[in-house]
Amino acid sequence: MNIGEAVKALQIKYPSASISRIRFLEKEGLINIKRSSGGTRKFTNKDIEKISKIIDLQENKFYSLKAIKNNPSLLKSTKAKSTKAKTIKIDDYSIRDILKQSGLSNTQFEELVSFGFEVNRERFNNDDLNRIKAWSYFYSLGLEPKNFSVLKSISERSSDFIEFIISFLPDDEEEDRTLIIENYTNLIRGYLSKDIS
């Protein structure tokens, strides 16, 4: 596959993947992509796996590129290491962290704020990060906030519906609210995939 196809494959799991990021990894000597006789990069599944591991180490395990480059064993033993080591789950991010990990630009984030999809604040959590990664993915497909006007309507109706369900519960506990949102999300996901396939 060529570099554009490689980026699309990577963005399914890592929306922050980009052509410039891959070129930078190659320039830094972290990856070595074979080229055709015409000089075009030819990516294999192994190359995609390696790039995925590098991005995972950076974004989820917070290793610097220098640390990855100086410890090649990290790329071979990420699975084994993660089962032995205790994973620290970070749930507090600055706007800078969120944008860096999601691959979203400042301009794109400001655009989302102006459309009322995001709020500019000081701290963000993992739910925010996952949502902003999703925005980054859709931007990479060429879509913009104006293409998602239906999302506002769904969001408002869903919020009202979830509040209605919660009103039946004896206590308004955060755990119950989280479970309701998770299960409601699974229902939506299930119906969307059923209708599309």
The answer to the question of residue 90 being in a domain is no
Q: Is residue 10 part of a domain?
A: yes
Find out whether 94 and 71 touch, Cβ atoms under 8 Å.
Answer: no
Same domain, residue pair 79 and 7: yes
Please calculate the CA angle 24-12-127 and round it to the nearest 5 degrees. 100
Domains contained in the chain, number: 3
45 and 80 co-located in one domain? yes
Residue 89 reports pLDDT greater than 60: no
The domain boundary residue, chosen from 38, 56, 84: 84
Taking the alpha carbons at both ends of the chain, their separation in whole angstroms is 26
Quick check: 187 pLDDT over 90? no
Residues 173 and 115 in one domain: no
Q: Which domain holds residue 162?
A: 151-196
CA atoms of 146 and 158, how far apart (whole Å): 20
Q: How many CB atoms lie within 10 A of CB 58?
A: 20
Among residues 191, 113, 103, the alpha carbon closest in space to that of 145 is found at 113
Each residue of 49-73: pLDDT tens digit? Answer: 999 999 988 888 878 888 888 888 8
pLDDT at 34 over 90: yes
Domain boundary among 84, 106, 135: 84
pLDDT tens digit sequence for 116-128: 889 988 899 888 8
Q: What is the mean pLDDT of the chain?
A: 82
Amino acid symbol at 66: K
